[in-house]
A and B are shown apart, each in its own frame.
Chain A
């Protein structure tokens, strides 16, 4: 294993200062993704800044919404009463991710920061523009069954692997970040990036910035469902997933927020579908039409064409399940 320094910090400020000083440093919390990446030689931080002692483990609520500390384990967030009561969609998505053991270790902040599971990214003998800019994309002409159908570029067709983030995108969450200049708020939709010409950048977090919490605004969504379709019934990444949050009154959709996972470099909000659904009644035909709109413009590769049909099916099913 490549040698590295390891330090512990006890305040967000100290952590941010330490990272700002050393560009080759990385924060570590649960380590469920970072340690794998280090073992595989994908990343080799000179210094690990352990942030586990930071006071970022609270889940709080006020009139504006629910705040979840960045160090809250996924399993704790999933089982939290406030989360279940106010944002059941998030709880469902968290429980659909990984395995029980991983959910116990993985933090909310780390989940947002996790990197793609594209096999070409993980195998350092293969080309990958995300791991090594300008080396090419192994997946484009290779095995791309798990890959993106939306928002990809000619540099990268990887997908973001998180379930939690799909729900957070649908719930219009905000990522609260500590910087050297103080606190910054990043709307969830602006947090992750599309690959474009710089697939090495997963998100818009600047060097030295630290996620401290996630805020989920209060909402009126009374119909929620997270559907994940995967190759085995637990511990597998999504082929596609759908997060549905609807406000339904007297059988009419008043507001809608829908996102897909497993289809793009970031959680994929379906804004056109949301617009279409407002004012519609709950019928199978409306859901079918929504699915058609959702998959418009999808671009597939050799092994992932099934995602169009599966994506449509998943949207119909998630809407149906949410409104049962």
Chain B
């Protein structure tokens, strides 16, 4: 590891977020803030039962309230072509719509479901009128209780089992354990609430939407409303966090489009915090059981990992929770199962680190438990079982610097101070605990297209129809463009969030840097080639050279033997061209048959537990991430810190609670749903081996978003055990669980 570098000062002197100033000065325009002429304001009426039908919806009083323009509900809602069931006999490739069909019929499938949309001239008047809509229901018994039904085979839908050699070999091991791990629903709760403005002009639809994938929204709206994609423009310039809630277009997006079309006026739908719990997904509740066994010297012999998580009654959502046990460690016998439990609730969706975040909570807790039984240091146990090749496919990883992460993090946290016997170390009257756990997520590269416009003022404008929900995609793309073209960063701009730009992927699964970055590199390569050809064509001194004989160096084209050189600014001027435009695509990763691809992280925690009240105070956290090359150190670090804070929430505070008598969330607000506050967050160190992975993509990156969170919660729980000797297997670990 000769070229690894840990100190932030060694990366970039000036590493600020390119959109930071706009965001902190209020100049950034978020989806709800656009003001097209004639804008109307719409507010949902939501169901107050979890299952049944609407018998009668009385809109009389609401309709006559001041400022009300229209009230849209199932009886007067225009047809949405894409909501109709698809006839596969005539159209075998048609995709049927699986989500909630807003205002489609009188069925109620979850509490908080949007059942009517009140459109008024102001938001306040719409809110008031919505409160006047009276609904009579035909109520049916709803089942929302995960605990009660998690083993109910009549309801459970099994996914395929996975078996490597023997199913239950762990049970015959010298040292073994079998434990259950549970976690509640977690709700994304980004700062910015979802909002959509829809504008129909002629046959053209413009949508301002908070989304992680403008192209995805464009495609879905095109299918649902049966209009050509080219007539749908989706704008998502700024996103104030999403964590997965923006991966789909939800009912409020469709409702805005329906209303704008019906009224032939722009309509804005904004969700309130309560509706953020009932309409835009969440991390499902989950139960897991792990059986794990090893020889006395710590070599794993078997893992059996079973998981159940909830979905809605109308849609299957799966996230492969137990799959992580198939490949994280070298283990000869592995058995995993996964079942989903449909409940009368809204559909869950991907939330930061989907699958492995829940799976690693169980696996990494179980491994910690095993380490105490074996009396082997938890890091040592993981090193003994380190997978040198992917245990399932036997393929080598493109790169894997997990061992380096252990070493870097261990040093930073002061692992040598960890008590080997739990509950024995005290500091200022507090119990002290150290814990660690591993995080993992898939890495890869999806296809993307970008456009580059090199101008004769020396600037480069890059464009792609992607979104930046906060990781710093724009900043990273500017850095890549700047490095590729040898330009100062302030000469490079990256524009995104508009479907009129070339196609880019949805931001999710830690894939933006590799996908969009590769497209940007392809664009820069193509620009350089065009410049060389232009030089040969227009500049006499280059006439006898071939493109291969010309080098591009810091904005200059230099012919072999340094016989001629010209800056691209002069070249463009000489050629009489104000700018050079190039669009280029980069393909998806095509070597899955040769390599396994993952990012890895190791999280370390030092904490205090109050011996009398059970209150936990985190003292220090260290996250080490094998994320490939770090393109933008400051935003990479911020992304890691943000993920760790999400992990603190998962471990210690976040829990969405349903009152099953009503099938209704009862803490759908920021007072009762606890996201961590500053006081909960300790000093953090982020360390990167910073080893480029050029097999996955020419950017060298592997992705950060998910591994920043995956593994944080078990690291905290493992530290709690180290401090107290109490093993909490039910998240979140609130003070009452440590009494």
Q: Which residues of A contact B (CB under 8 A)?
A: 1-3, 41, 99, 117, 119-120, 122-123, 125-126, 138, 141-143, 145, 227, 229-237, 239, 306, 309-310, 313-314, 316-317
Instruction: State whether B667 touches A119 (Cβ < 8 A).
Output: yes
Interface flag for B534 (CB, 8 Å): no
Q: A231, B735: Cβ atoms under 8 Å?
A: yes
In the complex the two chains form, what is the Cα distance from A119 to B664 in whole Å? Answer: 11
* B661 within 8 A of partner (CB): yes
Residues of B635-667 contacting chain A, CB below 8 A: 652-653, 657, 659, 661-662, 664, 666-667
A231 touches B674 (CB 8 A): yes
Instruction: Provide the bound-state CA to CA distance between A313 and B738, in Å.
Output: 12
Instruction: Evaluate contact between A232 and B613: CB separation under 8 angstroms.
Output: no
Sample of 20 A–B contacts (CB below 8 Å): A1-B127, A2-B128, A120-B666, A123-B666, A125-B664, A126-B659, A126-B662, A142-B661, A230-B615, A230-B735, A232-B653, A233-B615, A233-B617, A234-B678, A234-B679, A234-B680, A310-B735, A310-B739, A313-B612, A313-B614
What 0/1 pattern do residues 671 to 683 of B give for CB contact below 8 A with A? 1101011111000
Q: Which of B128, B615, B657, B674 has the most CB of A within 10 A?
A: B615
Given pairs A117-B672, A310-B739, 13 additional interface contacts (CB within 8 A): A1-B128, A120-B666, A138-B659, A230-B735, A231-B653, A233-B617, A239-B736, A310-B613, A310-B735, A313-B613, A314-B612, A317-B612, A317-B613
B677 touches which one: A122, A142, A227, A232 (CB < 8 A)? Answer: A232
- Cβ contact within 8 Å between B127 and A232: no
> Which residues in B have their C-beta under 8 angstroms from that of A41?
131
Q: Please give, as numbers and ranges, the residues of chain B lying within 8 Å of A117 by CB-CB distance.
A: 671-672
Chain B residues, CB < 8 A from A142: 659, 661, 666
Residues of chain B within 8 A of A2, CB atoms compared: 128, 131
B661 contacts A141, CB within 8 Å? yes
Is the CB–CB distance between B735 and A229 below 8 Å? Answer: yes
Contacts of A235 in B (CB 8 A): 677
Q: Which of chain B's residues have a CB closer than 8 A to the CB of A237? A: 671
CB neighbours (8 Å) of B674 from chain A are: 231-232, 236
Residue of B whose beta carbon sits closest to that of A308 = B739
The answer, yes or no, to whether B734 is at the interface (CB within 8 Å) is yes
Task: Say whether B739 contacts A306, CB under 8 Å.
Answer: yes
Cβ of B48 within 8 Å of any chain A Cβ, yes or no, is yes
- Tell me the nearest residue of chain A to B655, going by C-beta: A231
The interface residues of chain A lying within 8 Å CB-to-CB of B735 are 229-231, 239, 310
Q: Is B124 an interface residue (CB 8 A)?
A: yes
Q: Which residues of A contact B669 (CB under 8 A)?
A: 122
CB distance from B649 to the nearest CB of A (A): 9
Considering the complex, give the chain B residue whose CB is closest to the CB of A309: B739
By a CB distance below 8 angstroms, the chain A residues around B679 are: 232-234
Contact A229 B615 (CB under 8 A): yes
The 8 closest A-B pairs by CB, nearest first: A233-B679, A306-B736, A234-B679, A125-B48, A119-B666, A1-B124, A317-B612, A313-B612
Number of B residues, CB within 8 Å of A: 33
- Chain B residues with CB under 8 A of A120: 666
Contact residues of B between 613 and 637, Cβ < 8 Å to A: 613-615, 617
Question: A295: shortest Cβ distance to chain B, in Å?
Answer: 13
Contacts A119-B667, A123-B666, A232-B652: A143 and B657 contacting too (C-beta < 8 A)?
Answer: yes
Contacts of A306 in B (CB 8 A): 736, 739
CB distance from A307 to the nearest CB of B (A): 8
Chain A residues, Cβ within 8 Å of B127: 1
- The chain B residue sitting closest to A317, CB to CB, is B612
Q: Which of A1, A143, A230, A232 contacts B659 (CB 8 A)?
A: A143
CA distance A145 to B735 in the complex (A): 12
| Alpha-carbon distance between A229 and B610 when the two chains are bound, in angstroms | 11
CB distance from A39 to the nearest CB of B (A): 9
Nearest A residue (CB) for B649:
A232
**Per-position contact with A for B296-328: 1 when CB-CB < 8 Å, else 0?**
000000000000000000000000000000000
A317: chain B residues within 8 A (beta carbon) = 610, 612-613
Bound together, the chains give a CA A190 to CA B669 distance in angstroms of: 33
Residue of A nearest to B732 (CB): A231
* Nearest chain A residue, comparing its CB with the CB of B739: A309
In the docked arrangement, what's the CA distance between A120 and B144, Å? 18
- Chain B positions within 8 Å of A125 at CB level: 48, 662, 664
Residue of A nearest to B125 (CB): A1
- Distance A313 CA – B677 CA, assembled complex (angstroms): 25
Are B613 and A229 touching (Cβ within 8 A)? yes
Q: Which of B121-150 contact A (CB under 8 A)?
A: 124, 127-128, 131
What separation, in Å, do the CA atoms of A232 and B649 have in the docked complex?
A: 10
Q: How far is the CB of A183 from chain B (nearest CB, A)?
A: 35
CB-defined contacts of B657 to chain A, threshold 8 Å: 143
Min CB–CB distance A107 → chain B (angstroms) = 19
**How far is B277's CA from A123's CA once the two chains are assembled, in angstroms?**
14
Q: Which residue of B lies closest to A227 (CB)?
A: B613
In the complex where A229-B735, A313-B739 touch, is A119 in contact with B613 (Cβ < 8 A)?
no
Q: How far is A234 from B131 in the complex, measured between Cα atoms in Å?
A: 33
Residue of B nearest to A233 (CB): B679
**Nearest A residue to B616 by beta-carbon distance?**
A233
Instruction: Compute how far the CA of A1 lies from the CA of B672 in the bound complex, rounded to whole angstroms.
Output: 23
Q: How far is the CA of A230 from the CA of B662 in the complex (A)?
A: 27
- CB-nearest residue of chain B to A305: B736
Residues of A contacting B613 with CB < 8 Å? 227, 229, 310, 313-314, 317
In the complex, chain A residues whose CB is within 8 Å of the CB of B678:
234
Nearest CB of chain A from residue B419's CB, rounded to whole Å: 23
Given A2-B128, A233-B677: A310 and B736 within 8 A (CB)?
A: yes
Contacts of A145 in B (CB 8 A): 736
Minimum CB–CB distance from A316 to chain B (whole Å) comes to 6
